[in-house]
Chains A and B, each alone.
Chain A
Amino acid sequence: MTSIAPEIVAEHGLTPEEYERCKRIMGREPNLTELGIFSVMWSEHCSYKSSRKWLRELPTKAPWVICGPGENAGVIDIGDGDACIFKMESHNHPSFIEPYQGAATGVGGILRDVFTMGARPIANLNALRFGSPEDPKTRHLVAGVVAGIGGYGNCVGVPTVGGECNFHRAYNGNILVNAMTVGLARTDRIFYSAAAGIGNPVIYVGSKTGRDGIHGATMASAEFSADAEEKRPTVQVGDPFTEKLLIEACLELMATDAIVAIQDMGAAGLTSSSVEMSSKGGLGIELELDKVPVRETGMTPYEIMLSESQERMLMILKPEREALAREIFEKWDLDFAVIGRITDTKRLVLKMNGATVADIPVAPLVEESPLYDRPHRAPPAPPPLPADAASRVKLSPTEALKQLMSSPDLASRRWIWEQYDHMVMGDTVQRPGGDAAVVRVHDKAKGLAITTDVTPRYCAADPVEGGKQAVAEAWRNLTAVGARPLAITDNMNFGNPEKPDIMGQFVGCIRGMAEACRALDFPVVSGNVSLYNETNGTAILPTPAIGGVGVVDDVAKTMTAGFKAADETIFLIGETRGHLGQSLYLRELAGLEAGPPPPVDLAAERRAGDLVRALITRGLVTAVHDISDGGLLVAVAEMALAGNIGATIEGSESPGWLFGEDQGRYVVAARDPKPILAAAKAAAVSCAAIGRTGGAALKPPGGKPISIAELRAAHEGWLPAYMAAP
């Protein structure tokens, strides 16, 4: 037996204490294969050792939740025997190193998490953060990530229907690529990963195993230094065609009664899939590694167990159904190999050419994984805005609007989403560009509304309010299309948790999110944590990306943001205080990133949202848009552009009224103003008529009009011009 030197332990990302724990569990010194298995299972990425304690504070239950966090993805009941299965997951570190393949395999991984539970994927979304547009790497990273997401999703044939994209210098060395998949299954045909049935065969299907991605989970659990590029060989290569075959073959097999348990091979590949299945079933598993289909010769047990080759699944089958399953996978030209069996030993036993190469007790490997209560320090409350902040912007409202609409964070994302097939499968009712995407449940009238949201600059200034706001904004975007928000998935992207300030951001965001989830009946059903998003000691903005899902009973009655006709009344719903702290107005036009973020009054949020949803359901409004980045005037401008109809706005000329980012607000348009005001009064929600639709220009209060054409050119022009620049 090899003796493990301390350097080897350190290279595997285990602390000396963790290694002692490993030896205690083993009752001896582990061999290299065993050490590798411990290292990936106990990596931050797989064990959630810094975050687990806090994730438990998130509400995860509701009458419509079928399966909360802990499985491959979350499952909710959307009525009529239909279940919606969804999750969001990060692929940040690989995407920075190799943007095309990093992003592509991120999409592939999240698709597998969803179809492994029996769902046909029906929509993909993403949440992307890039560095400053001026950073020399940004253009290349945007181009690669967008092409990678499209390259994978388009080929697999799942529409990419929405997402978000921000730029900020805090992401210069650590971009974020968070991918979300939403799938549909029947509530009585959901597949789980717990192994059962002693003696049942363990089946490997999909692509062959290569040396790619070894230690990907460990890489995702450490900070980058300047040598990030050297890590390129640990990035996996995606094969969306094989994924497509795997989806079809798995769903075909899932229509039979052959499967006992199924699990995709994601981070830490064969190791985490086999350990999770046996651990959840309270059983043992024995694998013969020489039966694993491999792409290269001479692969060691260590490499086979730690490979993160893509497009692979592990299944436990009923023995009498093995032949049927083999036939289905052969029809789809996929590898199908019996590589082991379920045992009653409660141990993970690996054999190669007849010899035992690893023998680990499963329960302690999982249950005794390290759990840290890391020191955390809440950031000080942000100082108030300087008294003269608003007056530092020396532009008229019209000129300010034009500049904001063409600023990196507000400019049109058309250049991105036109590279994604957002219509394949023939059920995309609301395409990208609106508040939320709407995808019909095939052959039915109902549909799902889906969105991804977070405002990292708010989270940085005040993690608790920022956490609340991320959840509230997702809820608001679903409401704005007329959906009933049901549940969320979260993708927690943060810096190094070993630093108390970073851990303080994490804890604060979780607390804010938990409060909002409870107030809005909007539980967390799945999620992912990505820590160590730091380069040379500089962390990203805290970015808890929220993927929200809601249901609409009739897709024909969903609402869109574009103005529909001239001479309609425009209303502002929700209370306006003119909050300019952390606004894009001050950041983009005065270079001021300061002040507290807008507070979120969750009770008011709920009242305003419930009112807007009722107005949509009752057919009283013709256009609805939530107010977020950029404030009221930006929201109105987006509605004018989407409908190609101008508007005249009357009200205060103050920057706070026009560009403040107070929460819980919507702009709606209506033919008949009376019932809107009456409904708002009855609901105790503030509501004011602020203008009328019509004409070919947008006229702000006291300012000169700007034509829709000029506004459109500014809004649509920035990203294509930026990407085309040398």
Chain B
Amino acid sequence: MNAAVIVFPGSNCDRDVEVALAAAMGKPPLAVFHKETEIPKVDLIVLPGGFSFGDYLRCGAMAAHSPVMREVVARASSGVPVLGICNGFQIMIEAGLLPGALLRNAQLHFVCKDVHLRVETAQSLFTTGYAAGQVVRFPVAHGEGNYFADEATLNELEQNGQIAFRYVQPDGSVSAEANPNGSARNIAGIFNRGKTVLGMMPHPERLSDPALGGTDGKAMFKGLVEALS
């Protein structure tokens, strides 16, 4: 299997996700710079976390218009799986790959901490390593991760099983206290209709190594590689 990690000038989690992918794939993914207009043939494209173009205005808004994104959108529409983490999720939304918006965190400041997530479905390329309803611990680190969409869109996401992860208590229950940023319905990550595109605010790559305090993220990369190999 081959994967490409897109590198925007202000990406800063590109190396982190490359390390996690390399551990799962047994070889490093390709790094593709934002100025490229073509992406080699790959089985997975990853948009990593960071501050793509400084994100002084709307996060991801400029990155969505960078040359490489035209190709990412084209690949996604031809069915190539795309994973966006944190800033990657913000860019996906700005590029129209996923619905809704990511607003400033409800408490109005950046938040970096471990959160608990409930895996809402195991029926996707990205979540085969988990059981539906399983609670995992991933870190978040963002200032604009407050997921918003109108009621109709939210209902549609629920009906189509497009919600990948929700912020929950360690026991799996949904509560306002478990929600680190005010996201609608505690949504932490969503799929596109065909579940080939996943955008999520939490960082699975940050807890994929026992030395860093946990390995709950590892199953995502392992499951992805198994599903795509």
Question: A157, A425, A428, A429: which has the most chain B beta carbons within 10 Å?
Answer: A157
Contact of B56 with A157 in the complex, beta carbons under 8 Å? no
In order of increasing CB-CB distance, the 6 nearest A-B pairs are: A157-B12, A241-B54, A426-B16, A155-B51, A421-B141, A421-B112
Would B10 and A241 count as touching, CB distance under 8 A? yes
Q: How far is the CA of A428 from the CA of B113 in the complex (A)?
A: 13
Of chain A, the residue at the smallest CB distance from B20 is A426
Q: Are B12 and A426 interface neighbours, CB within 8 A? A: no
Which residues of the other chain, A, contact B15 by a CB distance below 8 angstroms? 425-426
Binary contact track A133-157/B, C-beta < 8 Å → 1, others 0: 0000000000000010011001111
Given contacts A244-B51, A333-B9, could you give 18 more A-B pairs where the C-beta distance is less than 8 Å? A155-B10, A155-B54, A155-B55, A157-B51, A240-B51, A241-B51, A241-B54, A244-B12, A248-B9, A331-B35, A418-B111, A418-B113, A419-B109, A421-B141, A423-B141, A423-B212, A425-B16, A556-B211
Q: Complex Cα distance A245/B50, Å?
A: 13
Residues from 1 to 51 in B contacting A, C-beta threshold 8 Å: 9-10, 12-13, 15-16, 19, 35, 49-51
Q: Name the residue of chain B whose CB is nearest to the CB of A420.
A: B112
Q: Is the CB of A423 within 8 A of B206?
A: yes
B216 in the interface (beta carbon within 8 A): no
Judge if A332 is at the interface, Cβ distance under 8 Å: yes
Cβ-defined contact, B209 with A424, below 8 A:
no
B47 to chain A, nearest CB (A): 15
Check A422 for interface membership: any CB of B closer than 8 A. Answer: yes
Given contacts A154-B141, A239-B54, contact A422 B9 (CB under 8 A): no
Q: Which residue of B lies closest to A334 (CB)?
A: B9
Residues on A with C-beta less than 8 A from B109 are: 147, 150, 419
Chain B hits for A426, CB < 8 A: 15-16, 19, 205-206, 209, 212
B9 with A419: CB separation less than 8 A:
no
- Determine if B53 is an interface residue (Cβ-Cβ < 8 Å): yes
A419 to B143, CA, bound (A): 9
Closest CB in chain A relative to B167 CB, distance in Å: 15
Q: Which residue of A lies closest to B13 (CB)?
A: A424
Q: How far is the CA of A431 from the CA of B54 in the complex (A)?
A: 25
Establish whether residues B212 and A429, one from each chain, have CB atoms under 8 Å apart when the complex forms.
yes
| A551 interface contact, C-beta 8 A | no
A555 within 8 A of partner (CB): yes
Q: Check if B148 is an interface residue, CB within 8 A of chain A.
A: no
List of A residues within 8 angstroms of B13 by Cβ: 157, 424
Choose among A157, A333, A419 the residue that contacts B112 (Cβ–Cβ < 8 A): A419
Residue tally, chain A, CB below 8 Å to B: 34
Chain B residues whose C-beta falls within 8 Å of the C-beta of A419 in the assembled complex: 109-112
Instruction: Given A150-B110, A418-B111, A419-B112, answer yes or no on A424-B12 (Cβ-Cβ < 8 Å).
Output: yes
Is B139 among interface residues, defined by CB-CB distance under 8 A? yes
CA gap between A156 and B10 in the complex, in Å: 7
**Complex contacts, B54 vs chain A, CB 8 Å:** 155, 239-242
Chain A-chain B contacts (Cβ-Cβ < 8 Å), number: 86
Q: Looking at the complex, which one of A423, A555, A556 makes contact with B139 (CB distance below 8 Å)?
A: A423
Whole-angstrom CA separation of A422 from B50 in the bound complex:
13
Find the residue from A242, A418, A422 having the highest chain B CB count within 10 A: A418
Residue contact A156 to B12, C-beta cutoff 8 Å: yes
* Contact across chains for A245 and B16 when beta carbons are under 8 A apart: no
Enumerate chain A residues within 8 angstroms of B112, measured Cβ to Cβ.
154, 417-423
CA distance A245 to B112 in the complex (A): 23
> How far is the CB of B201 from the nearest CB of chain A, in Å?
13
B contact residues around A333 at 8 Å (CB): 9
Known contacts A150-B110, A244-B12: A424-B141 contact under CB 8 Å: yes
Please indicate the chain B residues that have their CB under 8 angstroms from the CB of A332 in the complex. Answer: 9
Nearest A-chain residue to B111, judged by Cβ: A418
A136 to B56 Cα, complex, angstroms? 30
A-B contact pairs, 14 of them (CB 8 A): A147-B109, A154-B110, A155-B12, A239-B54, A240-B51, A241-B55, A417-B112, A419-B110, A420-B110, A422-B112, A423-B206, A424-B12, A429-B212, A440-B211
User: Which residues of A have CB within 8 Å of B211?
Assistant: 429, 440, 555-556
Q: Is the CB of B9 within 8 A of A421?
A: no
The CA-CA distance from A331 to B34 in the complex, in Å, is 11
Known: A426-B209, A429-B212, A555-B211. A421 touches B110 (CB 8 A): yes
CA distance A331 to B113 in the complex (A): 34
Contact A241 B56 (CB under 8 A): yes
Selected from B49, B111, B212, the residue in CB contact (under 8 A) with A428 is B212
Q: Inside 8 A of A418's CB, which chain B residues have their CB?
A: 111-113
Query: Cα distance A555–B50 when bound, in Å?
Result: 26
Most buried by B among A155, A421, A431, A555: A421
B78 CB, nearest partner CB in chain A, Å: 29
Interface residues of A in 386-418 (CB under 8 A from B): 417-418
Q: Binary interface profile of A, 277-320, with partner B (CB < 8 Å = 1, else 0)? A: 00000000000000000000000000000000000000000000
Mask: chain B, 182-223; 1 = CB below 8 Å from A; 0 = not? 000000000000000000000101100101110000000000
Complex CA distance for A241 and B51, rounded to whole angstroms? 8
CA distance A423 to B212 in the complex (A): 9
> Which residues does chain B contribute within 8 Å of A421, judged by CB atoms?
110, 112, 141
> Which B-chain residue is minimally distant from A241 (CB atoms)?
B54
Q: Give chain A nearest CB distance to B89 CB in angstroms.
A: 16
Q: How far is it, in angstroms, between the C-alpha of A420 and the C-alpha of B109 when the chains are bound? A: 10
In angstroms, how far is the closest chain A Cβ from the Cβ of B133? 26
CB neighbours of B139 from chain A (8 A)? 423
Contact with A along B95-136 (1 / 0, CB 8 A): 000000000000001111100000000000000000000000
List residues of chain A with CB within 8 A of the CB of B212: 423, 426-429
C-alpha gap A245/B10 in the complex (Å) = 7
User: Shortest Cβ distance from A376 into chain B, in angstroms?
Assistant: 43
Shortest Cβ gap from A115 to chain B (Å):
14
A421 to B112, CA, bound (A): 5
Q: Tell me how far the C-beta of B132 lies from the nearest C-beta in chain A, rounded to whole angstroms.
A: 28
CB distance from A353 to the nearest CB of B (A): 34
Which residues of chain B are near A154, meaning CB under 8 Å?
51, 110, 112, 141, 143
Neighbouring A residues of B16 by C-beta, 8 Å: 424-426
**For B203, what are the chain A residues with a Cβ–Cβ distance below 8 Å?**
423
Q: Within the complex, what minimum Cβ distance (angstroms) separates A153 from chain B?
A: 10
Q: Which residues of B contact A155 (CB under 8 A)?
A: 10, 12, 51, 54-55
Cα separation A423 to B110 with both chains bound (whole Å):
13
Q: Complex: how many Å from CA A426 to CA B35?
A: 26
Which chain A positions have C-beta within 8 A of B113?
418
In the complex, which residues of chain A have a beta carbon less than 8 angstroms from the beta carbon of B55? 155, 241
For window 601-646 of A, CB contacts with B under 8 Å fall at none
A244 and B10 within 8 A (CB): yes
* Min CB–CB distance A114 → chain B (angstroms): 17
Give the CA-CA distance A421 to B35 in the complex, in Å. 27
Task: Kindly provide the distance from the CB of A242 to the nearest chain B CB, expressed in whole angstroms.
Answer: 8
> What's the Cα separation between A157 and B48 when bound, in Å?
12
CA distance A429 to B210 in the complex (A): 9
The CA-CA distance from A239 to B56 in the complex, in Å, is 9
Least CB distance from B155 to A in Å reads 33
